[in-house]
Amino acid sequence: MSATPALAQANCEPVMSASPELLYRRCGASGVKLPAISLGLWHNFGDNRAMVDIRAMLHRALDLGVVHFDLANNYGPPPGSAETRFGDVLATSLRGHRHELFISSKAGYVMWPGPYGNWGSRKSVLASLDQSLKRMRLDHVDLFYSHRPDPETPIEETMSALDTAVRQGKARYVGLSNYTLPQTMAAVTALKQLGTPCLIHQARYSMFERWVEDGLLDYLDQQGIGAIAFSPLAQGVLTDRYLNGLPEGSRALDPDSPFLTPEKVLQRVAKARQLNELALLRGQSLAQMALAWVLRKTTSAIIGASRVTQIEHNLAALARATFSGEELAQIEAILAQPE
């Protein structure tokens, strides 16, 4: 995708984008094509980041063909601010580019006090979507997810809310996130009965977290449903960031980070170093190899970013996205080692 005048405001050095054959992949049996690398706005796109940085990252991603931006009602920090900032960019420097973008959001995590600010009731899901659209200044999203299953609400009720979102014109497609295989099967069945098929399933998936391989990916393939991975770099453990310890200011040392702790980094760093050696032999960084490995079995992988160069670096993973049988065996041998 060539740069446009609006995108040129990012003032980034030119980097050749991936070819359409490498970059775009059909999502399950649908007509949707997603970029192999999608940009997630989970961290670094809220009030914790300067607007000039947010704008530059969004512009550069689109310049390189990354048309899918993944959000949720609770992304920030604080919750809601990522959607607000994203909406600010859409309304200004990306104005006129909405038709080029595939925008997703989600509902299911805590957003406001009281009984309707969390989980998956029909009331909560649809109220959250209305708020997300208002923050982003949109009349619809392309994809709306149930962010997690609600243990106290029937799956049929949550799926009915997703179906309503489509019928009201507030979402083009619907998806599931963080659903186990049995929960996914129940949700997919409910959506089929309502006449609104499930487009995609989003799950945490990386070399260090592989639960989706125990039946879920096979089921999605059988049903013609796409799969998209979040945290494919294991919150940074599958990059060069922690190969030599815990750097000051890293996410692992942030007491507010619930998913990455110093203990988790240290128990995996030995494997990460071995994987890094293999990546270098392939002519890649560890992050690029980890993304390529996930993309063997998914439609797309969602990356986070705190600067433009990270987006450019991760897109370069597509230049070497295949593995020999020997390389895969070496990776399996490393991952099988006790932690």
The answer to the question of residue 281 being in a domain is no
**Using an 8 Å Cβ cutoff, are 262 and 192 in contact?**
no
Please state at what angle helix 286-294 crosses helix 308-315, rounded to 10 degrees: 60
**Using an 8 Å Cβ cutoff, are 272 and 238 in contact?**
yes
The answer to the question of residue 229 being in a domain is yes
Please state at what angle helix 262-281 crosses helix 286-294, rounded to 10 degrees: 90
User: Residue 6's pLDDT band (boundaries 50, 70, 90)?
Assistant: very low
Residue 112 to residue 132: CA distance in whole angstroms: 13
The answer to the question of residue 1 being in a domain is no
The answer to the question of residue 113 being in a domain is yes
Q: Which of 141, 119, 146, 121 is nearest to 130 (CA)?
A: 141
pLDDT tens, 314-335?
999 999 999 999 999 999 999 9
C-alpha distance from residue 241 to each of 143, 180, 235 (Å): 32, 31, 10
The answer to the question of residue 175 being in a domain is yes
The answer to the question of residue 75 being in a domain is yes
Mean per-residue pLDDT over the chain, rounded: 92
pLDDT tens, 34-70?
999 999 999 899 999 999 999 999 999 999 999 999 9
- Does this model's pTM top 0.85? My answer is yes
pLDDT tens, 206-234?
999 999 999 999 999 999 999 999 999 99
The tally of domains found in the chain comes to 1
Phi-psi region of 30 (alpha: psi -120 to 50; beta: other; left: phi over 0): beta
Residues forming beta bridges with residue 174, ordered by sequence position? 144, 198
Residue 64 to residue 60: CA distance in whole angstroms: 6
Name the 3-class secondary structure at 230: strand
Read off the CATH number of the domain in which 185 is found: 3.20.20.100
Domain range for 64 is 20-241+287-320
- On the question of pLDDT at 164 being above 70, the answer is yes
- What pLDDT score was predicted for residue 124? 98
- What pLDDT score was predicted for residue 262? 75
Residue 105 to residue 111: CA distance in whole angstroms: 14
The answer to the question of residue 53 being in a domain is yes
Residue 162 to residue 125: CA distance in whole angstroms: 8
Residue 36 to residue 91: CA distance in whole angstroms: 26
* Ranges 10-14, 20-24, 56-60, 145-149: which has the least confidence: 10-14
